[in-house]
A and B are shown apart, each in its own frame.
Chain A
Amino acid sequence: GQQVMQIPQYQHVQEGEDFTTYCNSSTTLSNIQWYKQRPGGHPVFLIQLVKSGEVKKQKRLTFQFGEAKKNSSLHITATQTTDVGTYFCAGRGRGSTLGRLYFGRGTQLTVWP
């Protein structure tokens, strides 16, 4: 079945350092979404990428969708303690699985002040 792999599983950074998490799908995705989950919380939608090669920015966050629509990345510039949480990518299936989100395992980000 369809799988979405995400690395690294954990990342510990000093405040001010950059952070990147990578997502890779076994099949072509219709789109990819990124979510942030704070400890004890629920996934909160950050952004959606639909087009091949798309790049979107939200302040210090940069999201990319690969040309083949099989991989994606989230880059945070100059992390802050408020960035702490687990970042999940979630790929949207195609055809009959269009409604389903396939989540990556998540990257748990810890930021030291």
Chain B
Amino acid sequence: EPEVTQTPSHQVTQMGQEVILRCVPISNHLYFYWYRQILGQKVEFLVSFYNNEISEKSEIFDDQFSVERPDGSNFTLKIRSTKLEDSAMYFCASSWDRSTSYEQYFGPGTRLTVT
């Protein structure tokens, strides 16, 4: 069964450093998403991406964050200057369409630890 993959599984970085989290969505999917989950809390939507542009973003997704689809397979989340509070599990998800008919498939996540 096709699946979303994410690398790395764990990233440790110092406060103020830039990090790039990578995702390979399911190959025929068109919509891509980033969510995050702070330890012990709920999963929160960050951003959705379609046709090489952001289609929606949440209040969390400020100027420190950016997303990109640099080639036909990867989908990346960049955090420019990490803060302690960015420590969380970051999940990438993809779906064939954004309509109600289609589920979002989640990747295994990248655990980001900012020290």
Contacts and interface: CB of A to CB of B under 8 A. Distances in A.
Interface of A: 1, 30-31, 33, 35, 41-45, 48, 50, 88, 90, 92, 96-106
Contacts, number: 59
A72 B62 CA distance: 32
B41 A45 contact: no
Given A42-B107, A42-B108, A106-B42, A31 B56 contact: no
Among B33, B43, B100, find the residue whose CB has the most chain A CB atoms closer than 10 A: B43
B56 A97 contact: yes
17 contacts: A1-B59, A33-B103, A35-B106, A42-B107, A42-B108, A42-B109, A43-B91, A44-B106, A45-B104, A50-B100, A92-B100, A96-B56, A98-B99, A99-B56, A100-B45, A100-B48, A101-B35
B45 A102 contact: yes
A50 B103 CA distance: 12
A50 B105 CA distance: 18
Q: How big is the B interface, by class?
A: 20 to 34
B55 A45 contact: no
B91 A99 contact: no
B42 A100 contact: no
A41 B100 contact: no
B104 A101 contact: yes
Interface in B6-60: 31, 33, 35, 41-45, 48, 50, 55-56, 58-59
Given A98-B100, A99-B33, A100-B48, A90 B58 contact: no
A106 B38 CA distance: 13
Contact of B41 (A30, A43, A102, A105): A105
B82 to A, nearest CB: 22
B31 A99 contact: yes
A20 B5 CA distance: 32
B42 A104 contact: yes
A50 B33 CA distance: 21
